[in-house]
Amino acid sequence: MVDLARPVEQVAPLLLNAIFRHGEVAVRLTEVEAYDGANDPASHAFRGRTPRNAIMFGPPGFLYVYFSYGMHWAANVVCGPDGRSSAVLLRAGEVVDGIELARSRRPPTIRDRDLARGPGRLAQALGLTKEQLGSDLFGPGPVTLTPASVAPAGIASGPRVGVSVAADRPWRFWITGDPCVSPYRRSPRAPAPG
């Protein structure tokens, strides 16, 4: 079992190659992003606890799901010490079980590598909605997280995608060379790097 009570930037890369499952569909995680609550202006919990983000304050090992940009759901693994808000956004993965069901939830022309390539696509392929908010990832299911049995051969890190503040923190982690990693897109509202 992964020790999720550690600092978020240490937990995030440990989730790569882990298997995230919702019911019949499972995804091998290829890309994640760390968000550190009160210490991170890009975090949903930066300004404190609200009804929306309360699950982020722990304990670790639960699922935080939110609706992003009014378009899609995004899934996060709550981590860090209990009472301190932090979570790892699940950015991308490879569907490794239930591929036909995952395909039925996505447009018919999508290639297999793109079924869960991006946080919205990943949640859609898995069938995640607000109904799974607060799921115990190490409980009896149907939403579970199984630690990686094999560490990735290579892990890269870089700036986070789509955030306008603290964008250059190298807290996006991905498996080097994996075709299921999403492309990097800097927020147009983020200040120029450097």
Highest mean pLDDT among 12-16, 69-73, 148-152: 12-16
* pLDDT exceeds cutoff 70 at 18: yes
Which pLDDT score, from 0 to 100, does residue 71 have? 80
Task: Work out the percent of the chain whose per-residue pLDDT is above 70.
Answer: 98
So what's the pLDDT on residue 194?
65
Residue 41 pLDDT: 92
At residue 14, does pLDDT exceed 80? Answer: yes
> In whole angstroms, what is the distance from residue 82 CA to residue 99 CA?
35
Two tokens at 135? 């799921």
Mean pLDDT of 23-50: 94
According to the model, what pLDDT value does residue 139 have? 92
Query: Which whole-number Å values give the CA distances from 179 to 93, 128, 176, in the listed order?
Result: 9, 23, 9
Question: Which has the closest alpha carbon to 46: 165, 129, 130?
Answer: 165
**pTM (2 d.p.):** 0.95
Give residue for tokens 């992964």. Answer: 2
Confidence of residue 162 (pLDDT cuts 50, 70, 90): confident
pLDDT of residue 76: 97
Q: How confident is the model at residue 159 (pLDDT cuts 50, 70, 90)?
A: very high
**Mean pLDDT, to the nearest integer, of 74-102?**
96
Confidence at residue 40, expressed as pLDDT on a 0 to 100 scale: 93
Tell me the pLDDT band of 74, cut-offs 50, 70 and 90: very high
Task: Show the domains of the chain with their CATH numbers.
Answer: 8-175 (3.10.300.10)
